[in-house]
Amino acid sequence: MNKSKREVNDLVSLEQNLNNKFKNKELLNLAMTHSSYANEHKMGIVENNERLEFLGDAILSLVVSQYLYKKYPNHPEGELTKIRAKVVCESSLAYAAKKIEIGKFLLLGKGEEATGGRVRESILADAAEAIVGAIYMDSDFETTNSILLSYFESDIVHAVAKGNLFIDFKTELQEIVQKKSKSTMEYVVVKEEGPDHNKRFYIDVVVNNESIGTGRGRNKKDAEQMAAKEALIRLGVVHE
């Protein structure tokens, strides 16, 4: 896909979805450029969205932390931390990304394209963070804060605080396994990849020495939740 043609046409639709017009559209284009595309087109190690993702991750955490601090003055630190972790986890970021149809605008390498990269939660979540970084670099913190809360406040923060958006997949799976048998269940780290500031964990949930689900996340807890979710999907308990 020709970058300049894509920038003129498709990114206008993405700006409308975001309700934000970029002064520097190349920042938005960069936020939509996956490393697989950059590598395939020999664009250089900084010509993908990973640096913007790194920045967006920090900004998103600050925005959500500030919101929760003001919104829930009687919640202790531990509860605020739990809620924030759910709001900025891979699943919720992918959920927000789908709302603004990020998948349609991604520049992906042929391999990622062929294997469903446009709907993969990890890619969507990373791109969502990259957009946060792009908005901040193109404007300022107040603008970024306003845009983010317009998406996260009603659909994510409130729902998480009420406890009715995200399922504790690990607990649900544990209960099902215990009901069916007295089998032991454990979570096994299959591999780790990436630098310390952007680590990815791959974890299998294993029952009777057999993997029944695999998950990927920024930390072990997220990866375990995703592994349990996949197991529940396979069991027909949870639907994608």
DSSP-derived letter for residue 165 is: S
Cα separation, 171 vs 205, whole angstroms: 13
For residue 107, which of 48, 147, 24, 60 has the smallest C-alpha distance? 48
Contact 127, 32 (CB under 8 A): yes
Cα separation, 32 vs 163, whole angstroms: 32
**Is residue 77 among the annotated active site residues?**
no
Cα separation, 95 vs 88, whole angstroms: 11
For residue 47, which of 32, 66, 57, 64 has the smallest C-alpha distance? 32
Cα separation, 103 vs 131, whole angstroms: 12
DSSP-derived letter for residue 210 is: E
Task: Pick the catalytic residue from 53, 57, 126, 222.
Answer: 57
**Is residue 138 among the annotated active site residues?**
no
Task: Pick the catalytic residue from 50, 112, 121, 129.
Answer: 129
Neighbours of 233 (CB within 10 A): 14
Cα separation, 95 vs 104, whole angstroms: 14
Residues labelled as active-site residues: 57, 129
